[in-house]
Chain A
């Protein structure tokens, strides 16, 4: 057992883990932060993506000690209080999460992108997500969600269409579908 000290989602955490633990194992099994997923455990799928010092990294191939003393942000740390991050909200509005298993990793890659580039083109979004496999969506709705979030992060107010009995349905933007 080793004692590791991590800063995770703004909290200072101390945790005893086996010496060979990865950051992913420490998050999931040591700290109970199960939002980050394990799809392959060898760096191939991106489900375990978290943000370390502003960069999206694969936590399943990051030894936990490499994250010591750094700022770790996981899917649980993207919302501000009860208000979801615009990317999280847009994933919901655009149907960008089907099974949702790739979603935490894709959200982290997207937030890392938007933090350094609040107005990405669709090609830049595609490139930023190239390390995150999604087996459900064909990626199209994910691009829609990230683009819509970029508009919001970039400051343009997006008024949810309040019509209908349920939560605000998606507005139909006046542009073509597809990539």
Chain B
């Protein structure tokens, strides 16, 4: 175990950490450049909207003005007659349902007979330019019959007759419910009954959205020979490939998906979207390439972001602060479509069971459909909201029992190599070190409950999955594949199906290849994101790629290395394992005088064995979960752990909260590149901070005029933090060296978001003695909470 700061410096634990002298590694663990770093900083990187194909048409999508309505008739004739319009497509042209989760296909590329939220796609046009396409949208006549809209998930669940938002799966069911999960482990009521203290609370997590700076964009190109190519800013080229083929009834062998660099995603581009089907279909109709670029407003309406959660928690503990029992009741506002909602409904409960031991646990989560844009997975999918509520509950228990909140968390530590109450398999676990790091770095002992009124610190912990053991569609094939090929110049080409969305996956595979084959980093070329050339990787979601693709890459590189070692060993008359590849050379172990450039070694191997290449793959461990229904959901090959301390200042007069600093300690297993890991930690903490104080994806209610209209679909009104809003972020990398991860690595991209929010909530309490149970902690909310607690002046109030 070791800990480092965000620049890769050891912070004084049992060394050596990766990247420190003595670890035996030359590239892994060191701060290295990214393989696409210069392309991105010189403007040469070509994102989807930067691509222009000869003869390209521009597409636009007509969207519903109603939250819920029947489509009675669509007349596209006036649009078709407009000069410059080449094609118009409507829902009946693509009448096949799809959905990212194969069990809940409930959407069409364009609505067929019903619109379910303002912004639902109804028709699309392709025209010579954007202006003409926009003009054509105005000429499409749609007759709607409005239906009652559901905007409140509780009302949607309470409905006892149709029209529901979706047809019930069985007669008599409520078509407004996507999924209900009820699971209990151990005897929860008995546990609560035996507790010395039980805290209860209601919590509300407002929905938020991803807002990548790049809007969604796609280009379709249908060639006369039946081939179809789609370029898209997607996190899931493989799933897109499958769904395009299925929905458009094209042989999957004829479909090619190219994923250019993606300008941010965070879960917001992790399922097929209407524009991808539309560009493909419009191109198939016109024989011309067709591009659609969402406006920023469309990005807000396409959403798939964080679900609003209404939560009730009861948590019990013994006199000395050991957890006894946890009971959760959750209602989730899912919006108009299922998206990943089936999984979200499970994650809402399943992912809470570490890093603390819970003898008994029960959760009951219900996902409702409402007539708003669909919610889906946002960074920390399904588990950020419960984590907020639960870590605030822990803070209350610590206070009631007069135990230090960090001490309480230490006491309940679940440990390494163990099982959670719901039978998730925990292997490496650096959570205690995370607590140590934030306690030390924040000077916690001198600050907690000791800062002047209005200033406070708060702590929270969390865990997250490193990918999921079971893929989205059932199959036994590997989750990640990679292919390496060596040419005679000593260059290694890597064919990777993984999606570079800014997290650095293309660099990660290059580091591994350089490490394993001893070649300089700039002799590695990564060719990625093209389903014609690359083996399948399931996509950049659920924090899976470093672990899974990294292991696949090690697998391929070691196969290749074996061929090279054998050829060189034959040449030198030594054993293959005595041939080392490092620093651009093949070297004889124990005799550094005997060496040759690694290029010559590759050439020897090619002469001996033929063209040099290797494939590698990784598949997850199966059957390491419980035997109840749903036990596979949440099962991951490894779990990351995080602790945060936040320091805040609360202005009692205005309710304005300033977060000065967040200390982020994260167990990522091993930092393959500490700079990139720290970047993920900082970006995660930033995003959690943003959700804590600023962001809300909200829609107008019936009494606010246009029901279901987005309240603020712009980057000005939907406030995301600027440089001036963002607190100082301090990364503290903890390395537990996971037994199954590549060089011991686990995830770093999502886990470090979770504790920001409850750490800030707990810090607000430390500052002013007021519990914030509803998000975001915006000035009006905080001000009202202060008033109702009787905290009015610059002096400590009564509520503490």
Contacts and interface: CB of A to CB of B under 8 A. Distances in A.
A79 B38 CA distance: 11
Which of under 10, 10 to 19, 20 to 34, or 35 or more describes the interface residues of B? Answer: 35 or more
Contacts of B765: none
Interface string B680-721: 001101110000000000000000000000000011100010
Interface stretch (A32-40, A62-70, A150-158): A32-40
A97 interface: yes
B46 interface: yes
A87 B37 CA distance: 12
Contacts of B27: 164-166
B189 interface: no
Given A44-B714, A103-B40, A179 B728 contact: yes
A101 B47 contact: yes
B683 A164 contact: no
A18 to B, nearest CB: 7
B213 A134 contact: yes
B42 A133 contact: no
Interface string B4-41: 01111100000000000000001100111110111111
Given A34-B46, A101-B214, A107-B41, A137 B683 contact: yes
A172 B676 CA distance: 14
B675 A95 contact: yes
B145 interface: no
A132 interface: yes
A37 B40 contact: no
A95 B676 contact: yes
A159 interface: no
A7 interface: no
A141 B7 CA distance: 10
Contacts of A97: 34, 37, 40-41, 502
Contact of B30 (A87, A100, A134, A169): A169
Given A139-B686, A140-B682, A165-B584, A98 B41 contact: no
Contacts, number: 229
A76 B262 CA distance: 19
A75 interface: yes
Contact of A35 (B8, B44, B263, B582): B44
Contact of B41 (A18, A36, A91, A172): A91
Nearest to A79: B42
Given A99-B212, A134-B213, A135-B212, A88 B42 contact: yes
Contact of A166 (B5, B261, B514): B514
A167 B727 CA distance: 32
Contacts of A45: 213, 715
Interface string B521-552: 11000000000000000000000000000000
Contacts of B153: none
A47 interface: yes
Given A37-B47, A100-B261, A140-B682, A177 B731 contact: yes
B263 A100 contact: yes
Contact of B42 (A44, A76, A136, A139): A76
Given A92-B34, A99-B261, A178 B730 contact: yes
Nearest to A179: B728
Given A98-B679, A100-B45, A166 B213 contact: no
Contacts of B213: 37, 39, 45, 47, 99, 101-102, 133-135
A101 B715 CA distance: 15
A18 B130 CA distance: 11
Contacts of B200: none
Interface in A124-164: 125-127, 129-143, 164
A88 B38 contact: yes
A84 interface: yes
A94 to B, nearest CB: 7
Contacts of A167: 32-33, 521-522
A71 interface: no
Greatest chain A CB density within 10 A among B41, B262, B518, B522 is at: B41
Interface string A91-117: 111111111111110010000000000
A130 B724 contact: yes
29 contacts: A32-B52, A34-B49, A39-B214, A41-B295, A44-B714, A44-B715, A84-B38, A91-B41, A95-B675, A97-B34, A99-B212, A100-B261, A100-B263, A100-B502, A101-B47, A101-B263, A133-B715, A133-B720, A135-B210, A135-B211, A135-B266, A135-B687, A135-B720, A139-B723, A140-B729, A142-B723, A165-B521, A166-B33, A177-B730
Given A95-B37, A135-B213, A136-B679, 20 more contacts: A38-B49, A39-B213, A84-B41, A91-B40, A100-B39, A100-B40, A101-B214, A125-B723, A127-B724, A133-B213, A135-B210, A137-B686, A138-B687, A138-B726, A164-B30, A166-B521, A170-B7, A170-B31, A177-B6, A178-B729
Closest 9 CB pairs of A and B: A35-B43, A99-B502, A101-B263, A100-B40, A138-B686, A166-B521, A92-B37, A75-B43, A98-B502
